[in-house]
Amino acid sequence: MNLAEMLSYADIGQLHEMANRYRCPSQTHSKHELIQSLLVALGSNQVLESLIRESSRADLRFLNDLLFDDRPFLTPEDLLAAAARAAFDEEGKGNPRERIARFKNGGWLYSGISAQSRYLYQVPRDLKKRARLTMGRLLQESVGGAEEPEAYRDEGNLAAADLEALLRFIGEYRPEISLDGGMHRRYQQLLMSALHIQEPLLAKGGWRFGYGRACEHYPPRLALLADYARHRRWTAEEGGRLELTSAGAERLEEGKSESLLNLFSFWLRLYKGAVPNLPSLVYWISTAAAENWIEVPALQHNLDYLIKPFYYDTPETILENRILRTMLHLGMIRAGDTAAGPVIRITERGREAAAAVTAG
């Protein structure tokens, strides 16, 4: 439902709390007049922009969760979990129930209207859309633009091509694997020479977990492709070797290029544990870099509040190495360098993929 409908079903107590919050005339005994004054307030782009600008980082994280949650209803437990997740720094510490109450009194959350949804909550569809548009515009203004680099990197559909190369390599060489499932190093070296995009093999030591099963054995791009092939059951570990399955052989015979959206959706699920806000971060990156080249440090400055450190990965390394680099590998962004530093711009593939994460 949209805002006007939800206001009409809201109880008079919540309406008066909202009226006090937005300094609307609240002495009237007419629910209709109260709703009309609230629609004027909440329908104002200036009010919405001020609300966003004045929010704490933790409240913005909670709002971000609400804007990109596509479930029709949220339970009180869902809201408590999201409100608690929003408090991952000193600034965000506080009572999650108080945060939920602020959002309810601010007109973001409304109870369901049926007997089944009476104790569930929802966010007005039109308010979600307007909030995303407003936050996107503020982000673009803050990030600004950058000069176009003299040269840039665009990997296009090479991830799909190298996925096919990986399957062909496994089918031809049946590489030996270690007890924990990784290809022996000599096979990795041979495989790299067959790929369009080559990466340095992993050095011994260091921590490697949280970004898929294969990240323990292979550099990030190859690990993503290997995990995807395993997920699709195109490869399997048998008798100390990595084998191409019958499904994998059929996939090669079809000769079709794998869809970017399939790889993209898998990546979101694979990295969800380490980067919970990944879908919304991709959306905001796409929004910020939609019209112009943008500087990566400016993007980092504006989005770091959404990125929680993951063990030894800082928000900076997560954005640059885990998110932007993977988006480059998936053909979602172009990347280059200028005198001011690294710059990126979204591609048409990136726009299509980012649009898929928009909720509501």
pLDDT averaged over the chain? 94
Orientation of helix 260-270 relative to helix 158-173, angle to 10°: 80
Band (pLDDT 50/70/90 cuts) for residue 24 is confident
What ranges do the domains of the chain cover? 3-138, 158-261, 268-355
Q: Do domains 158-261 and 268-355 have the same CATH topology?
A: yes
Query: Are the C-beta atoms of residues 66 and 78 closer than 8 Å to each other?
Result: no
Query: Are the C-beta atoms of residues 197 and 221 closer than 8 Å to each other?
Result: yes
Could you tell me which residues are beta bridge partners of residue 235? Answer: 244
Looking at the structure, give the CATH architecture of the domain made up of residues 3-138.
Answer: Orthogonal Bundle (1.10)
CATH fold of 158-261, please? Arc Repressor Mutant, subunit A (1.10.10)
Residues 6+ positions from 278 with CB-CB distance below 8 Å: 268, 271, 272, 323
CATH fold of 268-355, please? Arc Repressor Mutant, subunit A (1.10.10)
| Span 150-192, pLDDT tens digits | 999 999 999 999 999 999 999 999 999 999 899 999 999 999 9
pTM attached to this predicted model = 0.94
Compute and round to an integer the Cα radius of gyration of the chain: 24
Q: Give DSSP secondary structure letters for 288-352.
A: HTSSS-EEHHHHHHHHGGG---BTTB-HHHIIIIIIIHHHHHTTSEEEEEETTEEEEEE-HHHHH
pLDDT of residue 118 exceeding 90, the answer is no
From 58, 41, 57, select the one nearest 49 (Cα to Cα): 41
From 118, 89, 116, 86, select the one nearest 99 (Cα to Cα): 86
The arithmetic mean of pLDDT across residues 278-287, rounded, is 98
pLDDT at 206: 75
